[in-house]
Amino acid sequence: MVSMNHVEKKLDFGRRAVPLAAELLEGQHKYELTEAEISRIFTRSIYQDVIHSAAFQRLKKIHFLGSLDYVIDPAGPKPNKRYTRFQHSLGVARLALQFARDRQLEEKDETIAVVSALLHDVGHAPLSHSLESVFKTEFGIGHHVISEKIVRGDVPIGASLNKVLRSSNVNPFEVLATMSGKGSGHLRELFNHAINSDTIEAIIRSSTYLYPQQLFQPPSDVLLALLTPSESSSSTLDSFWRLKDHVYNNLINSGTGLLADYVCQEYMRRHIQHFEEDHYYLTEPDLRDRHPQLFATLERLSVGAVLDLVPGSSEIKFVRRRFTIKTEVAFDHIFAVDQRYTQSRNEETYQLSRVGTGELDDQSARVKGSKGLF
């Protein structure tokens, strides 16, 4: 198990990271909402009904970064705990409420915005992206396809959710269009651009895995900058884009992270006869019951343990993503986001021999996600 010690170092991303004082955790921003807070924020019955649906409640047992959350030590000092897709989805929905207020959306459009935010990750598999690529190869399904099936009510776990939407006159197809960044009018802005409500919440939440004592910036501040194009707001977004690059380099594509994802994917490939398409809808405790050796290997992650589980391994192929800022492009309109903030993808190979005991213990190489994480 990799230790997650408090980090004293502060990084300068254009704005100093702010230590997480108790009042800040309880006031301006929280990464985990209590049931009472959820009720206070999402007051309308349609939101409560979606949140309490079986499909959404399942996300409580789907970890946010998949294999990542089994490499860290949840018994470490707060806020060193495992996050879930449930809490991330609530965070994105909270941003959607802010978005609706800023854009002065009518009630119908606000409903579509918030419900779409709540459900944008409803189709994640157990271990999230860590297993998704194998499900795609072997069964032709991924979280976008499964999200559609759930929202349309085509699978049992989505039946009650679809009924909730239709009884509240919420068109499931409008929700699906908005989730995919193809919504009408202002709704398109919610998920369409390189920086959007999902990436904002996900990256800032992910940064706490590396720096549990620091808050880069409240997600609401970044969303506000996105919605109010100007020279000053571009400074905030520049800082966020640099943070995203840092998170990918030091978290997503760290040696330990690559190893954790590799374990999941190679295990599933080599034991595919024990997997079925319906396993996509399992929770992680359900998957653990069926494959305890996989989870045991993650929780004592080392090259030796990996080779015991997937003998004959020597290298990991992955796609490294780099995030750059074209400073010559002025951020004077929201559509300029995709021109100013760009990314590149390059295939690379990581030799297992490079992952040694020292790196597994290093704070900058704790874990991993997947090449298509955010």
Mean pLDDT of the residues in the chain: 85
The pLDDT confidence band at residue 81, using thresholds 50, 70 and 90, is: low
Q: Tokens 């108790």, residue?
A: 22
Give the integer Cα–Cα distance in Å for 346 and 235. Answer: 27
Mean pLDDT of all residues in 64-86: 76
Which pLDDT belongs to residue 190? Answer: 94
Could you please report the per-residue DSSP string of 289-339?
Answer: HH-HHHHHHHHT--HHHHHHHSTT--EEEEEEEEEEE-TTS---SGGGHHH
Which pLDDT belongs to residue 212? Answer: 73
Asked whether the predicted pLDDT for residue 351 surpasses 90, the reply is no
Lowest mean pLDDT among 15-24, 75-84, 356-365: 15-24
Give the integer Cα–Cα distance in Å for 269 and 113. Answer: 37
Which pLDDT belongs to residue 173? Answer: 96
Asked whether the predicted pLDDT for residue 134 surpasses 90, the reply is yes
pLDDT in tens, 284-315: 999 999 999 999 999 888 888 888 888 888 88
Asked whether the predicted pLDDT for residue 26 surpasses 60, the reply is no
In the chain, what's the furthest Cα-to-Cα distance? 58
Q: Counting Cβ atoms within 10 Å, is residue 206 exposed (0-12), middle (13-18) or buried (19+)? A: buried
If residue 88 lies in a helix (H) or strand (E), which one and from where to where? helix 85-102
Which pLDDT belongs to residue 152? Answer: 97
> CB under 8 Å to 292, separation ≥6 — which residues?
none
Mean pLDDT of all residues in 89-96: 97
Which pLDDT belongs to residue 223? Answer: 95
Cα dihedral 180, 117, 146, 257 sign: positive
Could you please report the per-residue DSSP string of 330-374?
Answer: ---SGGGHHHHEEEEEEEEEEEGGG--HHHHH-TT---B--TT--
Phi, psi of 23 (to 5 degrees): -70, -30
Mean pLDDT of all residues in 335-361: 78
20-361 placed in CATH 1.10.3210.10: yes
Pure H helices in 120-230? 129-139, 143-152, 156-167, 172-179, 197-210, 219-227
* DSSP letter, residue 225: H
Give the integer Cα–Cα distance in Å for 295 and 69. Answer: 11
* DSSP letter, residue 79: T
Asked whether the predicted pLDDT for residue 22 surpasses 80, the reply is no
